[in-house]
């Protein structure tokens, strides 16, 4: 086997391996991002998926560095094909695409943490629901709450009676803690082959594979967690 055959085999195997891995990771990441964006509440943090994605990005960045170095060394010999250079450009584009989806996923979660700060602080203090937030999100939300409390105190809370300064006050029939609206209507797509039957107020709704429906979030929450439905 001469050098041309070795290079061709390397290029083909690299392209197939990357396309298969990248496509699978991107699809899982897009699903997680769409579910997070369309859900009225914060969904459990995808720890395993994010670790896999970040490792994949790091590996591909290292691969690009090695490949570019290899290309610079051998470019003068004429043994680097234009297809190989094109594959590197495709990999660079895919890395940028995956990185953008990761940022969109994390920014969506941060916007919910900002909106429902005290609610999720209470959840983060509950060991049973610790999977909802990553450690970085837990650190962020506590620091954010400290800054928010300091701002409110300096602006107006210090001028009020002490009994009116609690941001988490729920006395008098008025809850100061803003919570996600789980009765919000969402678009869902059924992806399981087995039909799902939902009991509504006066009828039963059947969700079939590939069907798209508009329904209250709290009715489909457990099926979303099981992976039988996705939000669209």
Helix, strand or coil, per DSSP, at residue 116:
coil
**Local confidence band at 156 (pLDDT 50, 70, 90 cut-offs):** confident
pLDDT band at 152 (very low <50, low <70, confident <90, very high): confident
Q: What is the pLDDT of residue 19?
A: 55
Residue 48's pLDDT band, with cuts at 50, 70 and 90, is very high
Residue 182 scores a pLDDT above 80: yes
User: What does the pLDDT average to over 139-159?
Assistant: 87
Average pLDDT over residues 7-21: 53
Quick one: pLDDT at residue 172? 64
Residue 216, class by beta-carbon neighbours within 10 Å (0-12 exposed, 13-18 middle, 19+ buried)? middle
The whole-number average pLDDT for the span 156-164 is: 76
Residue 4: pLDDT over 90: no
pLDDT at 6: 46
pLDDT of residue 218: 96
pLDDT tens figures, 76-132: 555 556 667 777 888 889 899 999 999 999 999 999 999 999 999 988 877 555 678
Type and span of the H or E element at 213: strand 212-216
Nearest alpha-carbon partner for 25 in 102, 128, 121? 102
- Tokens 């995808």 belong to 46
Within 10 Å of residue 76's Cβ, how many Cβ atoms?
8
C-alpha span between 145 and 113 (Å, rounded): 10
Is the distance from CB of 96 to CB of 54 less than 8 angstroms?
no
Q: Range with the lowest mean pLDDT among 123-132, 134-143, 158-167? A: 123-132
As assigned by CATH, the class of the 3-115 domain is mainly alpha
Question: Over pLDDT 70: what percentage of the chain?
Answer: 78
Structure confidence at residue 28 (pLDDT):
93
User: Would you tell me the crossing angle of helices 82-115 and 117-124 to the nearest 10 degrees?
Assistant: 100
- 60 contacts: CB under 8 Å, gap ≥ 6: 18, 22, 91, 94, 95
């Amino acid at each position: 086997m001469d050098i041309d055959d070795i290079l061709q085999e390397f290029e083909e195997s690299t392209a197939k391996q990357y396309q298969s891995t990248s496509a699978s990771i991107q699809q899982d990441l897009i699903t997680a991002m769409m579910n997070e964006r369309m859900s009225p509440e914060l969904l459990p943090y995808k720890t395993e998926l994010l670790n896999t994605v970040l490792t994949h990005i790091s590996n591909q960045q290292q691969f690009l560095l090695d490949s570019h170095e290899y290309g610079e060394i051998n470019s003068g010999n004429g043994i680097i094909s234009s297809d190989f250079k094109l594959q590197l450009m495709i990999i660079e584009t895919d890395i940028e695409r995956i990185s953008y989806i990761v940022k969109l996923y994390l920014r969506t979660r941060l916007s919910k943490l900002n909106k429902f700060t005290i609610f999720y602080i209470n959840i983060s203090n509950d060991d049973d629901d610790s999977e909802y937030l990553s450690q970085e999100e837990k650190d962020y939300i506590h620091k954010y709450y400290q800054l928010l409390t300091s701002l409110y105190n300096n602006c107006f809370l210090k001028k009020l009676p002490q009994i009116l300064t609690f941001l988490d006050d729920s006395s008098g029939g008025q809850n100061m803690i803003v919570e996600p609206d789980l009765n919000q209507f969402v678009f869902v797509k059924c992806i399981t082959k087995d039909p799902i039957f939902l009991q509504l107020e006066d009828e039963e709704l059947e969700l079939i594979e590939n069907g798209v429906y508009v329904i209250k979030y709290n009715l489909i929450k457990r099926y979303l967690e099981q992976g039988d439905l996705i939000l669209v």
